Amino acid sequence: MRVAVIGVGLTKFGEHWDTSFSRLFVEAGARAIEDAGIDGGDIDAIYVGNMSGGRFIDQEHISALIADHAGLNPVSSTRVEAACASGGLALRSAAMAILSGMHDIVVAGGVEKMTDVLTERTTQTLATAADQEWEAFLGMTFPGLYAVIARRHMYEFGTTREQLAMVSVKNHGNAIHNPYAQFHRKITVEDVLNSAMVADPLRLLDCSPITDGAACVILASEEKAKEFTDSPVYITGSGQASSTISLHDRERITVIDSTVNAGKEAYKRANVEAKDIQVAEVHDAFTIGEILAIEGLGFVELGRGGPATEEGITQIGGKIPVNTSGGLKAKGHPVGATGVAQAVEIVLQLRGEAEARQVDADIGLTHNVGGSGGTAVVHIFEKG
């Protein structure tokens, strides 16, 4: 049995001062339900990715809140948390619920509202995904952690400051064609290099923004999907792996081991290899993150991520288009929603509905990371 994606929905990503947390999820969910051609009574269960509603909006018990405000009681609803990989893990959990035979139609969604608190509070909240005793307590933030990784990658492999900037330039260029993206502005390498320093060598335009938003997909069993669509997109492989949270405990910090292992599992389950992937959405919370991802997933050799980016391999029209949505960098990064939003983009690409950013692809991949690599979730999607 395979799991089919029969509906997708997104909110605009950005700063939503006049919209509530629950309203964001309901909006994305309503769009996904409409896209799938189902109604609320068809839904068996809900899985919601959310990193930190308690710190961002002082709201826990997210799962019940979502079911209630969506008008879906008494459907079972479960919150899933894995830091910035919460959305990807919600998707995996929903797919597993169908594969188990327990449910036929399941909602997988993610939501985060990050702008209701001051930036200092947001930074502190995101830092809870790091090792509190050995990293956060000593003042390390995620820009700092990824800056350490970037510096080591530059030292080991000769990755240049300009190559990091090219990741951001590419993804901003893609986001211009995504109506749901937070940023619709082209930038240049010079813009990146001249932006404010955050944590050397990472500058402001190397870093993903603070974002509000929600994303939702409707999953169905292969048999049930036939009732609603003639052209489903299937999740044919899923992988999840863990690694040490803190950088100092890793054998090497220039490779995200959880990415490597989650990718291997997903490839094995889908019976494909890295060379078969034709479009990918990867976790580029920082520009070095995309370089680590394309190396860890096997799209390029270790250490070749920078040169590959410079050569245009990851651009639309390149050998393996990466982050056609604009990625976390330009589409936005509402942490609990990111993994599901990645799935929405790949489904649109495989359906041929990505409009100006469309690529020619039958097989796609999503890659969602929690923290600096403590968790990674990878999914393989194939056109039906």
Q: Please measure the distance between the N-terminal and C-terminal CA atoms of the chain and give it in whole angstroms.
A: 13
Helix/strand/coil percentages in the chain, nearest 5: 40, 20, 40
What average pLDDT does range 98-113 have in this prediction? 97
pLDDT higher than 90, residue 266: yes
Q: What is the pLDDT of residue 163?
A: 98
What does residue 323 show for φ and ψ, rounded to 5 degrees? 60, 55
Residue ranges per structural domain of the chain: 3-118+210-233, 119-208+236-383
Please report which confidence band the pLDDT of residue 136 belongs to, taking 50, 70 and 90 as the band edges: confident
| Residue closest to 338 by CA, chosen among 375, 364, 370 | 370
pLDDT higher than 80, residue 312: yes
Q: What is the pLDDT of residue 231?
A: 87
Residues recognised as catalytic: 84, 333
Beta partners for 212? 14, 113
**3-118+210-233 and 119-208+236-383 share one CATH topology?**
yes
CATH of domain 3-118+210-233: 3.40.47.10
Stretch among 133-142, 164-173, 233-242, 365-374 having the lowest mean pLDDT:
133-142
> In the chain, pLDDT over 70 holds for what percent of residues?
100
Tens digit of each residue's pLDDT (9 = 90 or more) over 2-29: 999 999 999 999 999 999 999 999 999 9
Q: What is the DSSP letter of 32?
A: H
Q: Which residues contact 334 (CB under 8 A, 6 or more apart)?
A: 13, 110, 111, 112, 113, 114, 211, 212, 213, 214, 341
For residues 60 and 52, what is the distance between their CA atoms, to the nearest angstrom?
A: 8
CATH of domain 119-208+236-383: 3.40.47.10
What average pLDDT does range 157-185 have in this prediction? 98
pLDDT higher than 80, residue 52: yes
Q: What is the pLDDT of residue 251?
A: 92
pLDDT higher than 80, residue 1: no
